[in-house]
Structure 1
Amino acid sequence: MSSTGQTYFITGGNRGIGFELVHQFAELNDKNIVIATTRSPARSEELVELAKKFTNIHVIDLDVGDEKSIDTIDDQLEKIGIKGIDTFISNAGISTSLAPTLETTSAIYLNHYNINTLGPILVFQKIYKYLLAKETRKAIFVSSIAGSLTNFLPLHTTAYGQSKASLNFSLIQLAKELESEKFIVIPVHPGAVATDMADAAIAHIKEVNPEFYEAVKDSMLTPEKSAEGLVSVIEGFTEKDNGIFYDYKGEVLSF
């Protein structure tokens, strides 16, 4: 085992892909420090139990859709003694509507934008100085192919897809802005993952587009498998990858 480790900050670490990323980065090296965020540590029993098993995991309270919560990041990191972060992984997000455009309300659009687009950027603004304190400077954002304008999915991703497309746009800009500071800013598509959040989408696909469902059903990933691929590609990213959209297998995707 290496005598040195890396520090990771992972939002939405209490379930699904985020939970597996926390687990796998903590297990990768016992010298790693993994900061896992959740909106409610008291209700994140599995994550709290994982943190008891791996003492290099620290659980903090964060709601990425709430600016007041985001403003508490510094105080919480100070209590842990964190001065620098090597890799920031923005994973927290929502997908709560599968309505078509004509039936999607402004409240649904705004909620997705607030949590999936604006929240990750505002959290990054807080984490920026901690990344600047290290040489690694990786900022990884879990996006989705649903936000790709080129590889458009034949589904009602509507508010979710729009929020991810907006996130991707922001990341292209951020990658250019921070290129001179040697940051590595990358959106990643985790694959089609069988999580609680995806259950409704899978049922919807089966109902409205059975042919597409038949084409993708056998390619569905477990959170463990998706995270395994993401850990591998994230660890391998270098400055030449800055601003490129990748999937969990390390394949380049089109914006």
Structure 2
Amino acid sequence: MVYSVVVAGASRGLGFEYVNFLSKDSANIVIGLYRSPSTASKLLQLANESSNVHAIQADVGKVSDIQAAVEQATRILDGKLDLLINNAFYAGEPAKFCAPLHTRSAKELEADLHAAFQVNTVGPILAANLFLPLLRAGRTKKIMNISTLAADTDVVLRAPLIEPVYSITKAAVNMATVAMTVGGLREEGFTILAVSPGVSNTNPPDAADAPLDPQIASDTKKIYENLRAAYPDWDGAADAPEKTVRMTLDVMNKATPAQSGRFVSHFGVESEQWL
């Protein structure tokens, strides 16, 4: 049985891993949306080598780009889409990613917030709206909005994750997930979840094609230390990307419309475990 999936933000990282994993089943048709060819070399190569993978250039922060992507996807998928994965995200300057809000200039912060909201919050909402006709025609009617444990207030208060702009915009995605659900889509049979993928090693030390920025490496180390201190049962190891993909897809596969609207972890809809 054919399973059709669109992954928004598939250039690299977890987005690419979704496309790569799902494409291994030849019955699946997977479309990856990417913003720039310069960062999508692996996706473009996979699409070139795999008949069931298609790469479409689209900036999810732009309505015109998503509309054009929907038109192409409609032809590729014969008008039917089973799962939309909203994964695109904006992190901003590495040096400022973890900077406290009060340490930044108002002008710089305003620009960063606008850019982040456009991609991290507005993008998933627009993608869901514009792909809705295809999802309505699909069998499963599912939308997975990739969130983060850094968007959970209890987690951040226990283990300061110091990713303010990213966390704020992802928390908004969680509420957008609720808004999509209670607006009537649950009654149509839709299952819409905001899912935290936990801590995934999408940029291993030997990733020569995308070496980790020194500032990001430093900030990540501090975040890990904070999480270890707050959650001593966590071993401090990031999950392999394929494990993260398997777990989050399993969450979506098992979820039902009655559970729609929730912000959950990769451990399951009923789990209260984040790490």
- Normalising to structure 2: TM-score of the pair? 0.82
* Structure 1 residues 138 and 70: CA distance shift in structure 2, 3 A: same
- After superposition, residues 22-171 of structure 1 pair within 5 angstroms as 22-27=19-24, 29-41=25-37, 43-96=39-92, 97-104=97-104, 105-152=109-156, 153-171=159-177
Q: Is the 8 A contact 1:100 1:156 kept in 2?
A: yes
Worse overlay, 97-106 or 200-209: 200-209
Q: Is the 8 A contact 2:201 2:240 kept in 1?
A: yes
Q: Distance in 2 between matches of 1:253 and 1:201?
A: 28
1:206 and 2:221 aligned: yes
Aligned to 1:175, the other structure's residue is in SS state: helix
User: 5+ unaligned residues in a row in structure 1: which ranges?
Assistant: none
Q: Distance in 2 between matches of 1:205 and 1:217?
A: 15
Aligned to 1:219, the other structure's residue is in SS state: coil
Q: Is the 8 A contact 2:224 2:236 kept in 1?
A: no
* Structure 1 residues 159 and 49: CA distance shift in structure 2, 3 A: same
Corresponding position of 2:8: 11
Q: Per-residue CA shift, 1:106-148, capped at 9, x if unaligned?
A: 1111111111001110111110111011231001100011111
Aligned to 2:153, the other structure's residue is in SS state: coil
Q: Distance in 2 between matches of 1:211 and 1:123?
A: 34
Aligned to 1:24, the other structure's residue is in SS state: helix
Worse overlay, 80-89 or 201-210: 201-210
- Normalising to structure 1: TM-score of the pair? 0.88
Alpha-carbon distance, 1:186 to partner: 0.3
1:221 and 2:242 aligned: no
Q: Match for 1:20 among 12, 17, 25?
A: 17
Aligned to 1:150, the other structure's residue is in SS state: helix
Aligned to 1:249, the other structure's residue is in SS state: coil
Worse overlay, 210-219 or 167-176: 210-219
Q: Is the 8 A contact 2:4 2:28 kept in 1?
A: yes
The one-letter amino acid of 2:218's match is A
Alpha-carbon distance, 1:100 to partner: 0.1
User: 5+ unaligned residues in a row in structure 2: which ranges?
Assistant: 204-209
* Structure 1 residues 110 and 219: CA distance shift in structure 2, 3 A: same
Q: Distance in 2 between matches of 1:135 and 1:100?
A: 44
Alpha-carbon distance, 1:213 to partner: 5.6
Q: Distance in 2 between matches of 1:188 and 1:240?
A: 16
Q: Match for 1:248 among 244, 255, 266?
A: 266
- How many residues end up aligned between the 2 structures? 251
Alpha-carbon distance, 1:13 to partner: 1.3
Q: Over aligned residues, Cα RMSD in angstroms?
A: 2.5
How many percent of aligned residue pairs carry the same amino acid?
Answer: 27
Corresponding position of 1:174: 180
Q: Per-residue CA shift, 1:129-171, capped at 9, x if unaligned?
A: 1101123100110001111123324132111110011111111
1:186 and 2:230 aligned: no
Q: Per-residue CA shift, 1:192-211, capped at 9, x if unaligned?
A: 12234986545215358845
